[in-house]
Structure 1
Amino acid sequence: MSRIAYVNGAYVRQNHASVSIEDRGYQFADAVYEVWAVFDGRAADLTAHLDRLERSLRELHIAQPMGRASLVVILEEVIRRNRIREGMIYLQVSRGVAPRDHFFPATPVKPSVVITAKPVDRDAARRKAAKGIKAISQPDIRWGRCDIKTVGLLPNVLAKQTAREAGADDVILVDSNGYVTEGGSANVYLVSGDKTIKTAPLTANILPGVTRISLISLLKSQGYTVIEEAFTLKDAYAASELFLSAASTFVMPIVDLDGHVIGDGMPGDVATTLREAYIQEATHSAGVWSASGNNNL
């Protein structure tokens, strides 16, 4: 079946979809995006992703493209038209189409909206998580506003490609002070032996992950102490567990970092239990959203 995309008001076959070559998302990476996991045909963490999208647009002074209720209808329609039961849905909003100029368009233009969806093999992802992954560390060379979810991901791409060429599955990024910031496309957590979880605090170089919010709540409800505090590679090597979180991977254990075996070299109880708990909660809450707050999005 041909995949269907939503592009600026029309549902089209994805292989026929297009945007203008003067779209500022293409010319300048002047765009933001969001990704939702889809469980049983419904988007998970719907409201939290919409909230973050609104913030990203506001930080870049990009106009909100439509009302929130209208956007939810379109997201659901893209899922339906692609017959996605278990998968992902991707939304991108750019500043719009205008003659190439580093300045914002003098006359405001309509933002461009693109939405696509695809199925995901959850059994394959489950097997990967049960085995755990290898990662390497790389310098964090991203721009200083990683708290905004922009499409400017070239540093992430280069870091992930370096990991692949080194025979690893993912990458851990380290800032100029030696502190772990994030994974290539995920937040990072370490577990110490005293039921303590550490993850980097939300500063300008950390993306406020929506999955991160849910995981921290779940961990606290299970009696863990969650500390939002910077940690080093040395701390990561010595952790009893190390894992990533993202909407695309949920919870992914790291069992080897830079050749250092993490814990006993197998996914630990915290990550394994947390992954299943998150999937259950996300499945239960998928499709639920709130119209409260700013309804211009």
Structure 2
Amino acid sequence: MTESTERMVRDAGLDPAQVRRVIEDALTEDLGPGFLDVTSVATIPAGQTDTADLVARADGVVAGLAVAAAVFELVGEVTGAGRTVEVSLVAHDGARVARGDVLATVTGPTRLLLTAERTALNLLCRMSGVATHTRAWADALAGTKALVLDTRKTTPGLRALEKYAVRAGGGTNKRMGLHDVAMIKDNHKLAAGGVSAAYRRVREAFPDVPVQVEVDTLAEAVEAVEAGADFLLLDNMTPETLTAVVAAVGDRAELEATGGLTLDVAARYAATGVDFLSVGALTHSSPILDIALDLRTE
């Protein structure tokens, strides 16, 4: 990928090497062991060049333009064609776009444009769909202290891209994986013998790792805070119970409402005074934002 695209990828908090691996795997999946697009090779002369536009087919929030650009820039290298595609971005990640808006323009060998098309769109549409869904949640929470959080319910191999899309849509990332934050959930509590025992064991084993504790009742929330926890997941609690937890815990811990939340109740849950609402659906159930590649005919 070009230096400018690599810089945009880094500025998005993504690792260019990881993005390259995702793209190479996706192109390999499309092109097979021979790295061949049989339709484009058969129908398009090798020397033909064209320009095409990436166009929004629906209103939404765009995310992943640098990733899509990298697909077009790498396709010649991956296929062995050795020729390059020039990409000009028109929109920017996080922007609201309308049906018919041109998001980017690509110019280069027509075979390469069409070979890269689906891989670029798969990633761009997916990331933009996550960003669009996240923006709806961020808008629903506007005016409250609560922020919307993502979860680990991501597409295998695409976690970094999907979590970036959440950020582009106005959301906040939770942990990236099992390595960077300890999250004591119900099964951990059962295996360890309770909230306090589980918290103590994590603290002894990994004193520098942030610890979050999932609780189901007001009593468990108080127990966890008294054990030392400063971040609680309040699982499947009613707004009334959440309000009681906020009153009991005060500012001793950050509080996250989680479990079965929907947009139509978002404001009600945020009004309880919790700091976060976590929504697995941001990544596991967001529909794509429809975006197309239109080859110019003039």
TM beyond 0.5: no
TM-score, with length taken from structure 1: 0.26
The structure whose residues are more often helix, as a share, is 2
Who wins on radius of gyration, i.e. which is larger? 2
